Amino acid sequence: MIRITELALPLDHPQDAIEAALLKRLGIKKADLIDLLVFKRSYDARKKNTEIKFVYILDVTLKDDVEAQVLAKFADDAHVKPAPDTNYYPVPAAPADLTERPVVIGFGPCGLYAALTLAQAGYKPIVLERGKEVRARTKDTWALWRKHELNTESNVQYGEGGAGLFSDGKLYSQIKDPKFYGRKVMHEFVRAGAPEEIMYVSKPHIGTFRLTGVVSKMREEIKALGGEVRFESKVTDIQIEDGRITQVGLANGETINSRYVVLALGHSARDTFRLLHKKGVFIEAKPFAIGFRVEHPQSLIDTARLGKYAGHPELGAADYKVIHHAKNGRAVYSFCMCPGGTVVAATSEEGRVVTNGMSQYSRNERNANSGIVVGIHPEKDFPGGPLAGVELQEKLESHAFEMGGRDYSAPGQLVGDFVKGKASTQLGEVEPSYKPGIKLTDLADALPSYAIEAMREAFPAFGKKIRGFDRPDAILTGIETRTSSPIRITRDNDTLQSLNTRGLYPAGEGAGYAGGILSAGVDGIKVAEALVRDMLADLNGEQKGDVK
């Protein structure tokens, strides 16, 4: 198979133009072509007011003799090379007499893919999820948004699908993926009903409503393969003997014995973080980011990014990515940009306010939103131990609750007023999408002064990059604190086990090893493979070295 990269075609090209362009590019006849696969499609908008083009990566299969001739002919061409092997090779199947079952704690993207990988190989995992199944969880989440009623165990953060369920359903990441685990993640989503286009578009997404059905179908596959998925099963204790995990305890008093536990927590499982720290599992503080959600009319972003092609059906709602390095040394950047979406209430704890962004597959809501956040670091901003970042988040979220009126409404401010340093009293043309609602105020008190200073400097700079980004009536909604986990449950690079607790495999966002659906799913596959290697080695009597 041969891979051809950087094959550009006009935006409105007919479907058969891809094959015609390929034949011309390689100088071959149609009879020489056996198969053609679009591996990736992106677009080049650098000339947005003259011509936007689609840019393709194609994997093609030719007749054997023709393929050899083409590779020889284009030996010096970096855009015509043998295609890499993107197949996923399953882990060794479970022995027929296997009695011990691995446990997966958490059923977000990481836990989902860890459990699926184990189930497909016959290891019959037991999944423990503190929240509810996806459809019941959706009802609980809407209760907060519409009625100001919070269920602390079933919300945007907790439940089947994890925090990524109530997001844009983004399926792209900047992680290094030499083994193409990401293709496995995409393939399983498609098998479960996701649009096939996620396999090749450059920035794939599913959207919340579609993702609910996909996740539930994947759960049913795990169960059909002998796995168990237990909802409303909160882990409240773990037992460690001689440096090895041996048991997990549930809130209902039940205990489950297992020496192989995938710890696929979300980034908001603060009570479990404290449990692990109390039990002596190695944890360290890590950097994360804090800020606000900003909303603009999606039409403004479309025009700024796509020029005369704004609104083109083949391009959809435009996104953006911005960064500014402020004079005070802080980096201010966009995070989790949601085209045509809404800002949502994302708290999981009473008396606290947190925001996040969400889009449906159509991305056809009025506003675009993203987090505008400032990076913070343990040494400089929250010294004091592994859980100091958690404590900072809690303090800021509690204050935001007070600023919003103590009913889960969020504090908000117009961008123009924020930059000028005065409280907002009246909305402009941009209508905030946050539910339960916002209370206009002055956000200067919502975050540390260094973050406010850096963001005030950043908005005019962003306006020079994206025209209208600093429009005075754009809306800021506070606060965004759960950009990533404030801790890392550190693991050994080779075994992927906890540094000091054998048999415990920290994974995904909560452990500090992922950031988003795709990277969390990839990490779930990796730790499942590591667990299988260790389990089979133990069964075969191989001597394992102590975990560092």
If DSSP codes are grouped into helix, strand and coil, which group holds residue 3? Answer: strand
**Phi–psi pair at 372, nearest 5 degrees:** -110, 110
Q: Residue 66's domain spans which residues?
A: 2-82
Same domain? For 46 and 120 the reply is: no
Q: Indicate whether 473 and 334 sit together in one domain.
A: yes
pLDDT higher than threshold 60 for residue 344: yes
Q: Each residue of 266-301: pLDDT tens digit?
A: 999 999 999 999 999 999 999 999 999 999 999 999
What pLDDT, on a 0 to 100 scale, did the predictor assign at position 369?
Answer: 97
Is the same domain home to 321 and 264?
no
Q: For residue 269, give the CATH number of its domain.
A: 3.50.50.60
**Average pLDDT of span 411-420:** 98
Measured distance CA(111)–CA(129) in Å, rounded = 9
Residue 229 within any structural domain of the chain = yes
In a domain, 350, yes or no: yes
Instruction: Give residue-wise pLDDT tens across range 172-196.
Output: 777 888 789 999 999 999 999 999 9
Q: Which residue do the tokens 């009246």 mark?
A: 426
Domain count, the chain: 3
Of all helices (H) and strands (E), which one includes residue 172? Answer: none
Q: CA torsion sign, 376 to 378 to 384 to 386?
A: positive
242 and 377 belong to one structural domain: no
Residue 60 in any domain: the answer is yes
Are 360 and 410 in contact by the 8 Å Cβ rule? The answer is: no
Between CA 237 and CA 248 the distance in angstroms is 6
CB 129 within 8 A of CB 228: no
What's the pLDDT band for 249 if we cut at 50, 70, 90? very high
Per-residue pLDDT tens over the stretch 352-377: 999 999 988 889 999 999 999 999 99
State the average pLDDT over residues 539-548: 59
pLDDT on residue 201: 93
> How large is the average pLDDT for residues 58-80?
96
Give 126-138 pLDDT, tens digit per residue: 999 999 999 999 9
Cis peptide before 479 (omega within 30 of 0): yes
pLDDT of residue 542: 63
If one counts every other C-beta atom within 10 angstroms of the C-beta of residue 325, the result is 14
Q: Is the predicted pLDDT of residue 480 greater than 60, yes or no?
A: yes
Note whether 223 and 358 are same-domain residues.
Answer: no
Averaged pLDDT of the chain: 95
Burial class (CB in 10 A: 0-12, 13-18, 19+), 194: buried
Output the pLDDT for position 547: 42
Residues 75 and 170 in one domain: no
pLDDT-based confidence at 541, cuts 50/70/90?
A: confident
Q: Does the pLDDT at position 103 exceed 60? A: yes
- The answer to whether residue 331 is domain-embedded is yes
Q: Going by C-beta distance under 8 Å and a sequence separation of 6 or more, which residues neighbour residue 279?
A: 238, 240
Confidence of residue 48 (pLDDT cuts 50, 70, 90): confident
- Residue 360: per-residue pLDDT: 86
18-44 tens-digit pLDDT: 999 999 999 999 999 999 999 999 999
Structure-block tokens of residue 267: 């980034």
pLDDT given at position 386: 97
Quick one: CA dihedral 326, 439, 398, 422, positive or negative? positive
Do residues 332 and 440 share a domain?
Answer: yes
Half-sphere exposure of 380 (CA within 13 A, CB side): 10
Question: The CATH number of the domain where 44 resides is what?
Answer: 3.30.70.2700
pLDDT at 521 over 80: yes
Q: Are residues 389 and 299 in the same domain?
A: yes
Least confident of 65-69, 176-180, 182-186, 334-338: 176-180
Q: Is the pTM of the predicted complex or chain greater than 0.75?
A: yes
Asked whether residue 206 carries a pLDDT value surpassing 90, the answer given is no
